[in-house]
Amino acid sequence: MRNLCMKVSYDGTHYNGFQTQPDGRTIQDQLEKAIKMLSDEDVKIIASGRTDAGVHAYGQVFNFLTQSHIPVERWPMALNTRLPDDIVVREAIEVPELFHARYSAKQKTYRYTVNANQFIDVFQRHTQFHHHGKLNIEAMQRAIKHFIGTYDFTSFASRRSTKTSHIRTLFDAYMVVDKSMCRSSTYDQGVIHTYVTGSGFLQHMVRIMMGTLLEVGEGKKSPDDITAIIAAEDRSKAGPTAVSKGLILWDVEYNDFPKKTF
Amino acid sequence: MRNLCMKVSYDGTHYNGFQTQPDGRTIQDQLEKAIKMLSDEDVKIIASGRTDAGVHAYGQVFNFLTQSHIPVERWPMALNTRLPDDIVVREAIEVPELFHARYSAKQKTYRYTVNANQFIDVFQRHTQFHHHGKLNIEAMQRAIKHFIGTYDFTSFASRRSTKTSHIRTLFDAYMVVDKSMCRSSTYDQGVIHTYVTGSGFLQHMVRIMMGTLLEVGEGKKSPDDITAIIAAEDRSKAGPTAVSKGLILWDVEYNDFPKKTF
């Protein structure tokens, strides 16, 4: 048996999330169906983690065991011709038998995009949350730094979370403001890409962080409130869960293989 | 009667082009329907020109006469709430009675995007033509300069063109290569945005120019062949018509109003 590991991008707009569900069209279903078409094997793929309905991925990672002799470098193209056009396998490598896309993951990066220009960017409408009205971006940038570190993130977890521990470490969190589509300085504040990198993330964690940061941007909370909200370990203290479409699982990193090739 | 002029973005993926057709869903139909909902008038809008099925616009311009007293600055938001989410009105100004979005246009800019990376960018798949295999981008950049000037562009017009003259002036034509999504220098050549600005364009003109430039990139034609292809005034001498989805009507400019506000 060979253990193959792949990196996949998908537009989650038309899917019920990553993980197989009895009632729905999911990314996992599509990938397993394409593998079945290619190798005639009923495989169960292991992803770095699930993504919710409407959430996208640029660099989701999954692995599976196969008896196929198809050379690893031929898999991406071969799968892509068998996948719908909103799912694209970008990389494939052979990994040690014990490699596990979830357990072996060292860190994950998510990107959340807020369009703070006056009008929706029609070409990016499925991957940007369009925010109406002025945002204090500088305050948001100060606020986000308070998330970096090791904390109990209960305040930023879905109430439905079943995890035994809510302690996670955020290694980095920052915002990049793209002003290339701004026309008027009065109404257009740019497109804000927020990147967060951590050891792991709780359900809805990035979206609740964003909902809270947007309240900071709107002046409803101050940047320094973040520390108290984390300390409260109480979901009701944080802001709302930002809509799923702005969120992209950007990358998953592993110790095992060199970053530049995967 | 007031003459209102508006700038509109649309994702043309799900439309049968701009212009009203008996059998189809078009951008013009959607805009006129939204105006009817807002002002209860049956207006006929005048656009800077039609766009074909599957072609997009970032800055299409149209105007129409109205008896409505709604302040001009309120029109974009008011129309956007009545339009599908793939059409967004971005600007509105009141213009002199004689202003005509087609006749008054001074110049138009189109953008055509070729993704020359190994894999499709799943988030831009409706606005990029994905090219498989190596392209000589430097040769394409030399070739495109031969289009600048005043020529008979019959070689680059659809055979169905009914225009009495095929003479047009191209003021500018250039390529910008975006390497931000490149991962491997071996397989990823970047995303090539081609901008062409001219006095006017014939049916399929930008797409035939792109199809020809791609043949230059593939080594099937040399950059200097462009001059002879133009001189031939023969459609069969040029390359194929590139697919519609890579094309965006980027901007339309007018003498009448200041660029910075419109």
Average pLDDT over residues B57-63: 98
Domain ends where: B65, B82, B103?
B103
- Asked if B122's CB is within 8 angstroms of A10's CB, the reply is yes
Q: What is the pLDDT of residue A118?
A: 93
Q: What is the pLDDT of residue B24?
A: 75
Residue B172 has pLDDT above 50, yes or no: yes
Q: Go through chain A and tell me how many residues it has.
A: 262
Q: Which of A11, A85, A122 comes nearest B9 by C-beta? A: A122
Kindly indicate the confidence band of residue B261, based on its pLDDT and cuts at 50, 70 and 90.
Answer: low
Q: Which of B85, B119, B120 comes nearest A125 by C-beta? A: B85
Residue A232 has pLDDT above 90, yes or no: yes
Residue A75 has pLDDT above 90, yes or no: yes
Residues in A touching B80 (Cβ below 8 Å):
119-120
State pLDDT tens for residues A155-199: 999 999 999 999 999 999 999 999 988 887 778 999 999 999 999
Sign of the torsion formed by the C-alpha atoms of B36, B42, B43 and B44? positive
Q: What percent of chain A has pLDDT over 70?
A: 97
Domain ends where: A103, A134, A151?
A103
Gap between the Cα atoms of B59 and B49, Å rounded: 12
A6: CATH? 3.30.70.580
Whether residue A185 lies within 8 A of chain B, CB to CB, comes out as: no
Q: What is the pLDDT of residue B186?
A: 79
**A71, burial (CB in 10 Å: exposed 0-12, middle 13-18, buried 19+):** exposed
State pLDDT tens for residues A95-149: 999 999 999 999 999 999 999 999 999 999 999 999 999 999 999 999 999 999 9
Kindly indicate the confidence band of residue A209, based on its pLDDT and cuts at 50, 70 and 90.
Answer: very high
Report the b/e string of A173-190 with b at 16+ CB within 10 A.
Answer: bebeeeeeebbeeeebbb
Statement to judge: residues A158 and A223 lie in one domain: yes
Supply B42's token pair.
């049956």
Residue B262 has pLDDT above 60, yes or no: no
Q: What is the pLDDT of residue A24?
A: 75
Statement to judge: residues A14 and A110 lie in one domain: no
Q: What percent of chain B has pLDDT over 90?
A: 92
Statement to judge: residues B210 and B152 lie in one domain: yes
* Backbone Cα Rg of chain B: 19
Residues in B touching A86 (Cβ below 8 Å):
122, 125
Gap between the Cα atoms of B247 and B194, Å rounded: 9
Q: Go through chain B and tell me how many residues it has.
A: 262
Whether residue B88 lies within 8 A of chain A, CB to CB, comes out as: yes
Statement to judge: residues A43 and A28 lie in one domain: yes
Kindly indicate the confidence band of residue A261, based on its pLDDT and cuts at 50, 70 and 90.
Answer: low
Kindly indicate the confidence band of residue B187, based on its pLDDT and cuts at 50, 70 and 90.
Answer: confident
Q: 3-class SS at A2?
A: strand
Statement to judge: residues B230 and B116 lie in one domain: yes
Interface test with B, best of A15, A80, A122, A257 (most B CBs within 10 A): A122
Whether residue A88 lies within 8 A of chain B, CB to CB, comes out as: yes
Q: What is the pLDDT of residue A168?
A: 97
Kindly indicate the confidence band of residue A257, based on its pLDDT and cuts at 50, 70 and 90.
Answer: low
Statement to judge: residues B98 and B140 lie in one domain: no
Gap between the Cα atoms of A77 and A4, Å rounded: 15
Interface test with A, best of B119, B180, B188, B193 (most A CBs within 10 A): B119
Q: What is the pLDDT of residue B256?
A: 64
**B4, burial (CB in 10 Å: exposed 0-12, middle 13-18, buried 19+):** buried
Whether residue B253 lies within 8 A of chain A, CB to CB, comes out as: no
- Residue B15 annotated in ligand binding: no
A147: CATH? 3.30.70.660
Q: What is the pLDDT of residue A260?
A: 47
A256 is a domain residue: no
Average pLDDT over residues B255-259: 62
- Asked if B11's CB is within 8 angstroms of A122's CB, the reply is yes
Whether residue B66 lies within 8 A of chain A, CB to CB, comes out as: no
Statement to judge: residues A22 and A93 lie in one domain: yes
- Asked if B87's CB is within 8 angstroms of A119's CB, the reply is no
Q: 3-class SS at A148?
A: coil
A14 is a domain residue: yes
Sign of the torsion formed by the C-alpha atoms of A146, A150, A155 and A159? positive
Backbone angles phi, psi at A183, to 5 degrees: -110, -40
Strand locations in A14-147 (E) = 46-47, 56-66, 87-95, 105-115, 129-130
B159 is a domain residue: yes
Identify the active-site residue in B11, B23, B52, B152: B52
Statement to judge: residues B153 and B242 lie in one domain: yes
Q: Which residues form the domain of B91?
A: 2-103
Statement to judge: residues A112 and A92 lie in one domain: no
| Residue of chain A nearest B245, judged by CA positions | A123
Statement to judge: residues A157 and A94 lie in one domain: no
B257 is a domain residue: no
DSSP states of B151-191 as a string?
A: EE-GGGS-TT---S--EEEEEEEEEEEE-TT---TTT---E
Whether residue B10 lies within 8 A of chain A, CB to CB, comes out as: yes
Asked whether the beta carbons of B7 and B59 are under 8 A apart, the reply is: yes
- Asked if B124's CB is within 8 angstroms of A85's CB, the reply is no
Statement to judge: residues B240 and B156 lie in one domain: yes
Supply A199's token pair.
């050891």
Residues in A touching B76 (Cβ below 8 Å):
119
Interface test with A, best of B90, B121, B122 (most A CBs within 10 A): B122
Q: What is the pLDDT of residue A256?
A: 64
Q: Which of A9, A76, A123 comes nearest B11 by C-beta? A: A123
Tell me how many domains chain B contains: 2
Q: Which of B76, B88, B122 comes nearest A88 by C-beta? A: B122
Statement to judge: residues A45 and A136 lie in one domain: no
Q: What is the pLDDT of residue B22?
A: 86
Whether residue A208 lies within 8 A of chain B, CB to CB, comes out as: no
Supply B44's token pair.
């006929």
Kindly indicate the confidence band of residue B147, based on its pLDDT and cuts at 50, 70 and 90.
Answer: very high
Domain ends where: A103, A120, A135?
A103
Mean pLDDT of chain A: 95
| Residue of chain B nearest A126, judged by CA positions | B123
